[in-house]
Amino acid sequence: PFFKEYLPYEVDKPVELLAKLNANENPYGPSPMAVDAFQKYAPKGNRYGWKEMFELVDKIAELEGVKTETIMMGPGSSDLLEKTAMVFFQNGGNIVSADPAYMSLIKVAEATGATWKPIKLKDDWSHDLPAMEAAIDADTKLVYICNPNNPTGSMTDHEELVDFCSRVSEKVPIFVDEAYLGFLDDAAKKSMVSLINEGKNVMIARTFSKIQGMAGLRVGYMVAQPETLAIIQKITRGGMGISLPSVHAAMASMDDIEFSNKTRKLNSECREYVYSVLDGMGYSYVPSSTSFIIFPIEMEGKAFLEKMTAEGVGVRAFNIMDKNWCRVSMGTMEEMKLFGAALQKVLA
Ligand code: PLP
């Protein structure tokens, strides 16, 4: 692999941060409608939420334009990523993905016995799809694509990805993680979900944690062919991990279009602000399609994290291709100003 992550500072030492910009959380959420629904249904917490889960699945199926049997719920998308890795790699094999990529599925695959075949992102930070295709061999059990990608925030061309998924899924199943898709203005058009109706062997993961601001309420889902879901359902019932109030919160959140529109707008204003700070400092950055920005820094990652934490600002640090990088999540504008000031002080 070409990249490694420095441990977030608070892992060693819990600290109270003025600006928590290290976990790509939505600073505005959950939607007030989701909070009301969660509170309203907390007293029903003595009951299992199966009926309500089916209602949520119906609602998601309608939104995505797919059949309900292609949807599987999970307590956040992490659970679905991890369980997929466990099922697909129980007899070994290899996984092909970009490098750097979001590591959750890949790490569980490796722990289960898989070999990771990392394929360097292209110079424009998009997936090198021809190189990924060339890396597929008889032992490849899954291709993982995170689009937009974490930790780079970059997008891969839509038409190229549709073509790749359509063709390559005939050989190997493809898992597309769309956690940050909701931050795009034209998210629905950029999703790979429509390939499900064409019968393609793709799996698409989505989460309520990001644009919906429900990271702590734990709701995610996956869209895939029913035969594929049946394999994963051998080891998990998925929705069993989601609390009844969270199911109601998710349904309410889906109705609160105003909230997600507001998040998208404020997120993009904060990105512009961070770009202007970095431009002013003469720093480069990877243009972001997400709720975080990554940029190279001239300081060793651990020292940088310590200094930023001392300023009350939590960020993440990576080493990518022998360079140090900071990844900062978009918080409120006030938090981004704290970040800007801390960055100028620390890197001065
Ligand atoms: N996928 C990506 C790319 C992420 O960045 C994250 C969280 O940061 C997740 C999945 C998992 O999120 P959750 O389990 O909250 O749905």
Q: How high is the mean pLDDT in each 10-residue block of the chain (348 residues)?
A: 69 78 96 98 95 97 97 97 97 97 97 97 97 98 98 98 98 98 95 98 98 98 97 88 97 98 98 98 98 97 94 95 95 98 96
Predicted local distance difference test score (pLDDT) of residue 5? 80
Residue 120 CB partners (closer than 8 Å, separation 6+): 2, 98, 99, 128, 131
Architecture of domain 3-28+258-347: Alpha-Beta Complex (3.90)
Report the amino acid identity of residue 258: E
Q: With a 6 A CB cut-off, is 24 part of the ligand 1 pocket?
A: yes
Q: With a 6 A CB cut-off, is 150 part of the ligand 1 pocket?
A: yes
Whole-angstrom distance, CA of residue 264 vs CA of residue 132? 31
Predicted local distance difference test score (pLDDT) of residue 11? 52
CATH number of 32-255: 3.40.640.10
Whole-angstrom distance, CA of residue 116 vs CA of residue 118? 6
Q: With a 6 A CB cut-off, is 309 part of the ligand 1 pocket?
A: no
Predicted local distance difference test score (pLDDT) of residue 111? 97
**ipTM surpasses 0.90:** yes
Pocket test for ligand 1, best of 25, 78, 83, 146 (most atoms within 8 A of CB): 78
Pocket test for ligand 1, best of 177, 178, 316 (most atoms within 8 A of CB): 177
Predicted local distance difference test score (pLDDT) of residue 314? 95
Residue ranges, comma separated, of all CATH 3.40.640.10 domains in the chain are 32-255
Predicted local distance difference test score (pLDDT) of residue 8? 63
How many CB atoms are closer than 10 A to CB 309?
20
Residue bearing tokens 């990518």: 320
In the three-class reduction of DSSP (H, G, I as helix; E, B as strand; rest coil), residue 204 is classed as strand
Whole-angstrom distance, CA of residue 32 vs CA of residue 141? 42
How many CB atoms are closer than 10 A to CB 338?
18
> Which two three-digit tokens encode residue 206?
């989505």
Atom number of ligand 1 nearest to Cα 146: 3
Q: Which helix (H) or strand (E) holds 41?
A: helix 32-41
Residue bearing tokens 């002013």: 280
> Which two three-digit tokens encode residue 116?
């990771």
The residue ranges of DSSP E strands in 195-344, in sequence order, are 202-207, 220-223, 292-297, 313-314, 316-320, 323-329
- Return the half-sphere exposure (C-beta side, CA atoms, 13 A cut-off) of residue 47: 12
Residue ranges, comma separated, of all CATH 3.90.1150.10 domains in the chain are 3-28+258-347
| 49-52, Cβ contacts within 8 angstroms, sequence gap of 24 or more | 49/239, 49/242, 49/243, 49/244, 49/247, 50/239, 52/244, 52/247, 52/248, 52/251
Whole-angstrom distance, CA of residue 88 vs CA of residue 173? 10
Whole-angstrom distance, CA of residue 238 vs CA of residue 254? 20
Per-residue DSSP letters for 311-342? TTEE-EEEEETTEEEEEEE---HHHHHHHHHH
**Direct distance between the N- and C-terminal alpha carbons of the chain, in angstroms, rounded to an integer:** 31
Handedness of CA 344, 150, 183, 247 (dihedral sign): negative
Report the amino acid identity of residue 45: G
Predicted local distance difference test score (pLDDT) of residue 15? 78
Whole-angstrom distance, CA of residue 153 vs CA of residue 294? 7
The residue ranges of DSSP E strands in 265-322, in sequence order, are 292-297, 313-314, 316-320
Predicted local distance difference test score (pLDDT) of residue 1? 67
